[in-house]
A and B are shown apart, each in its own frame.
Chain A
């Protein structure tokens, strides 16, 4: 297993270089950029603000509304602008990934809009989007239990690896590639995003979760550092 060579030479548990920055959209109440290598996501938070039309309001709590999408030129084959079933599904999964850390009951009848766009896609766009959105929510000053950290763990043949590139996602040898995007509440055992596509033995799940713990801790440090840098500007 240790002899497996990744196409870009990384160690099995090595993330691509991360970039994180807050305040990238001055108009927004909070905003952030997060990149895993060539995958770049930006997120902006607007709200809490009154939700219209009125019948959609929830008098008990705020509504978290996420919109994730790829920009048309973020992928080699131009993506037709506008929501697809894929982007609608990822938006929903991102809502589920983020809402456990928010105190939505604090802001009844309002909406918290989170807009996530991918500028450049090289796999791991939903995880980069969740990391950016989590930072943007903190940057907006919303009360949060903690940050949410997200990494796609994956598999190349029988080797578990972290943060796959597009080239690695297209790996076809042996058992092929598995993409296992996860998100968790930082410093906890609570997983808020679980998705998977591919081919992985049930007995490897525990190893995947351990690698997610280890790598999410690195993501957390990068997020925290960027938020602190943003606060002193």
Chain B
């Protein structure tokens, strides 16, 4: 936590009364915006803004051997870094826990939802498959990075086109096909992270709020028919959640999923 004790105390008092520094309700999102084509060289790329938070994601495809335990499936790899460009808090050097956690959480939301049809990415079973590589980078960290990063990754995936293949069997990145990356169209995995400070739960924090929060729990979910399915979750932070809070969370994340999805379905 890099905020002062005074800020922490003031914020705690405020959120426990259901209020925030920027006037939002505890479960109110900041303005969300998605744009595309961050890089022509990527098979797909997107930029997400949530308030002042900005995250970009790029999708690249390579031809590789499949993993021994999934010879008839393509591979998925999510990586990323907290670039020192994006915040005075980030430093050059070996990744700290936050930098390890971000791509792992994005990976699990996408992988466990099975939105990418990996079985359709096989060139020759057991020998050659496509690897989908998603890289996420925050350009400006003003809180709620994981939710923004998942959104950027999904947007980039939806827009991505498969590379061509040269006669020698290598990917031809300059002559991209019109074929999309095979996705289960009905699935839109999104991330909703709940933050807790004192006895208040809130979403979409600014950096200051994220640093004040005593614990958070990230959820990756989709909507299937009328049900919200959770595909991944992770609590980060030393304070516990009560059973009641987790039960409340299970309802709240479904509502927030619908709200975020409704806002974005036109651009996704």
Return the contact of B112 from the options A191, A193, A197 (Cβ within 8 A): A197
Inter-chain contacts of B238 with A (CB < 8 A): 95-96, 99-100
* B228 interface hit (Cβ, 8 Å): yes
* B207 interface hit (Cβ, 8 Å): no
CA distance A195 to B112 in the complex (A): 13
Inter-subunit contact B100/A194 (CB<8 Å) = no
CA distance A99 to B215 in the complex (A): 13
Chain B, interface size: which category?
35 or more
Inter-subunit contact A202/B227 (CB<8 Å) = yes
Interface string of B214-256 (1 = CB under 8 A from A): 0101010100000111111111111111111011011101100
CA distance A89 to B236 in the complex (A): 10
Inter-subunit contact B232/A193 (CB<8 Å) = no
Inter-subunit contact B232/A197 (CB<8 Å) = yes
Inter-subunit contact B243/A189 (CB<8 Å) = yes
Interface string of A187-203 (1 = CB under 8 A from B): 00111111111111111
Inter-subunit contact B250/A203 (CB<8 Å) = yes
Given A202-B230, A205-B230, the answer on whether A85 and B104 have CB atoms closer than 8 Å is yes
Inter-subunit contact B228/A194 (CB<8 Å) = no
> Smallest Cβ distance from B93 to chain A, in angstroms?
15
Inter-subunit contact B227/A205 (CB<8 Å) = no
Interface string of A203-223 (1 = CB under 8 A from B): 101100100010000000000
CA distance A73 to B24 in the complex (A): 52
Interface string of B47-63 (1 = CB under 8 A from A): 00000000000000000
Inter-subunit contact A199/B240 (CB<8 Å) = no
Given A96-B238, A202-B250, the answer on whether A194 and B233 have CB atoms closer than 8 Å is yes
Inter-chain contacts of B68 with A (CB < 8 A): 77
Return the contact of B240 from the options A190, A200, A201, A205 (Cβ within 8 A): A190
Given A93-B234, A96-B238, A209-B243, the answer on whether A200 and B112 have CB atoms closer than 8 Å is no
Return the contact of A206 from the options B112, B232, B240, B247 (Cβ within 8 A): B247
Nearest 10 Cβ contacts at the A-B interface: A196-B233, A205-B250, A190-B240, A194-B235, A189-B243, A202-B250, A202-B228, A99-B238, A201-B227, A192-B240
Apart from A194-B246, A198-B112, 7 more pairs, CB < 8 Å:
A89-B101, A96-B236, A185-B240, A190-B240, A191-B240, A192-B240, A202-B254
